Amino acid sequence: MTTLAETVSDSVVITKRNLIKVKRVPDLIVFATLSPIMFVVLFRYIFGGAIGGLPPGISYAEFLLPGIFAQTVVFGSTVTGASIAEDLQKGLIDRFRSLPMSRSAVLIGRTVADLGLNVISITVMALTGYAVGWRINSSIGEAIGGFLVLLVFAFAISWLMALVGLLVRTPEVVNNASFIVIFPLTFASNAFVPLESFPAPLRAFAEWNPVSTVVQAARELFGNVPAGAPVPDVWSLQNPALYTVLWTVVILAIFVPLAVRAYLRTASR
């Protein structure tokens, strides 16, 4: 049985391996950065003029960007599942199994490396957003907190996707299965339009949807909620950062053990 120090050391090695792969396959970086730019520009200039019902004193750019941040990092977490499924197909997991290393290090290294990709995506989006009118109206500490909320939630979703990749084992199926789950979660939220425009049943779902609270927490921490804006009437949106942290803890508590167990079962075959 490996010690904690050995697990950390092995996880660092696997993380480096995955990041080196990104460096040697630049297509991953290209598409990881082009997609956020495309979403920011399209939503800002094509849909921005048609969206109404925004709080007074806020531009659609400031309303939009936190939603685009959340959508991109959540969709970016699907890379974890697809990459693990690809490693299974290519027999790389069998090679790891033959090495004297921590079994959980493979999953930790994968999720941490994908967290690095999300950092790159958010950086590109922030720069693009600044170019189209988005601004941070809060302190540096609050802004860092906003980015951390986004990244920590994405890290939790990566573990869910890791389990999907281990169970499905085909990158194409992982992408399709992930899309079916993540697409409604991101669009049935406050990411792109105010919740007041939703039908009552869908609005009730969106108010307790963790993606909505991630977006709301980011908006508040970035200072993109103007003074005097109406206070949400549900606990989840009144305490979005706390609600997001609770969801993050629950997701990690459930899917980290399940993913590690699935990996051990897969590696023992």
Q: How far is 249 from 237, CA to CA, in rounded Å?
A: 18
Among candidate residues 128, 124, 153, the one with its CA nearest the CA of residue 215:
153
DSSP symbol at 232: P
Question: What is the rounded CA–CA span in Å between residue 148 and residue 144?
Answer: 6
- What global pTM score does this model have? 0.89
Residue 178's pLDDT is 83
The mean pLDDT values, 10 residues at a time, for the chain of 269 residues are: 79 87 73 79 76 70 89 88 87 77 86 90 89 91 96 95 88 84 88 87 94 95 82 92 97 95 77
Q: How far is CA 209 from CA 202, 212, 232, 239, 263, in A?
A: 10, 5, 14, 13, 29
- Residue 137 has what pLDDT? 92
CB 57 within 8 A of CB 137: no
* pLDDT value, residue 252: 96
Question: Residues with Cβ < 8 Å from 23, sequence gap 6 or more?
Answer: none
- Provide the residue ranges of all domains of the chain, joining segments of one domain with +: 4-267
H helix and E strand count, the chain: 12, 0
pLDDT of residue 1: 59
Residue 49 is predicted with a pLDDT of 64
